[in-house]
Amino acid sequence: MPRNPLSRGTSEINNDGASLGRVENELFTGLNTPLSRRSLFTNGGKLLGAVAIAGAIPEILAACGTASSAATATTAASLPQVALQLVYLENVQFAGSFFALDKGYYKAAGVDVTLLPGGPNIAPEPIVMSGKALVGITHTAEAVQAINNGANLKIIGAGFQKSPTCIASRASAPIHNPTEMIGKKIGISPSNQPIWESFLKANNMTASQMDVVTIGFDPTPLATGEVDAIMAFYTNEPIVLKLKGVDTYAFLLNDYNYPLMEDLYIANAADLADPVKRAQIVGIMTGESKGWSDVLANPDEAATLAVTKYGANLKLNPEQQKLDAEEQNAFVADADTKVHGLFWMTPENVSGTIKSLGFGNVTASPSMFTNEILQSIYKGGNQA
């Protein structure tokens, strides 16, 4: 799950094999608007909403790792076969899902799960609506815009309690907060422009207060001093630069008037109302929760699993994946998940997300979010 977030498409890989993760572009067929996981607002979200419509053709987990009596009594061959649609390629962003599959947590919860990797032109929303996947992992604005455009979806959990989107600068010349960006040269990629404008609006700032230049996803301009800062992902570009010997300082947009849950789990509302499908969704999310508990406890093992097995064909950089796994844990678990359980969406986080989306003219409502599946899993407890 991302501290990686936010792009769909082909991954950029640098020459030493280090994946630049979630920094790829894509083009929807017949449209000239480049989209990426970073396109969280306006065109990206609205387009995906339209695509979604067009494509719409136990007890508390303290028993973690232990199969329920029903699951142990059922052979794997007789379990219902369901799918979980990922929003991106199979890297450590989805390590919790890898653990759940590898350790049999899904099957112990009564479902035989297939993981469907994301990639170019793959949007989770229409795949979930079509029934090809029972649950999907997607991005906040895109899920909301799909719902606004008529998709009968519900957001049932948040993989990241806060977004890893950040402003990164060189550690030798750090920019500590939004105010310190004034008068500096800031590099923004075209697909990050909507979230950049929304962030400035949230902080009562304008682009005219700094020198904003257009850059690609390659963080080299920051390393060379061509720009003073870039919009990045805390678990991506700073790690790429660190491995190249360039230390950075980064502050999260989330900490400056721009809270946003990310890597959201979605399901068809009709499936939530169907007792059989609902039980299967609970099974998927039970496996996810157990898998992500393992990632929190063993990030190195999570990275190894991504590099050597599930993402082996991507030729991922082992050191980068390890650092990514370590950093992303801070976005997966926090004080709220320790109280309520992983993926829980507190009223405060929901309202903060709704407010942040509003700065980009994406209208969300509390009714789009529900903890009902998580309530069925945790039953008042937690396993974080």
pLDDT along the chain (384 residues), means of 10: 34 30 28 30 36 34 37 63 96 97 98 92 94 97 96 98 97 98 97 94 98 95 98 96 97 98 98 98 98 98 97 96 97 97 98 97 97 92 53
Q: Which two tokens stand for residue 127?
A: 């795949």
Residue closest to 125 by CA, chosen among 55, 33, 57: 55
Query: How far, CA to CA in Å, does 362 sit from each of 1, 26, 195, 359?
Result: 23, 21, 11, 7
Query: How far, CA to CA in Å, does 358 sit from each of 107, 229, 353, 354, 363?
Result: 40, 25, 9, 6, 6
Per-residue model confidence (pLDDT) at position 217:
86
CATH top class, domain 165-255: alpha beta
Per-residue model confidence (pLDDT) at position 122:
86
User: What's domain 26-162+260-378's architecture?
Assistant: 3-Layer(aba) Sandwich (3.40)
Per-residue model confidence (pLDDT) at position 304:
97
Q: By the 8 A CB rule, do 164 and 2 touch?
A: yes
Sign of CA pseudo-dihedral 50, 332, 292, 240: positive
Per-residue model confidence (pLDDT) at position 80:
97
Domain segments of the chain as ranges = 26-162+260-378, 165-255
Q: Residue 55 carries which DSSP code?
A: T
Per-residue model confidence (pLDDT) at position 119:
76
Q: Would 26-162+260-378 and 165-255 be classified into the same CATH topology? A: yes
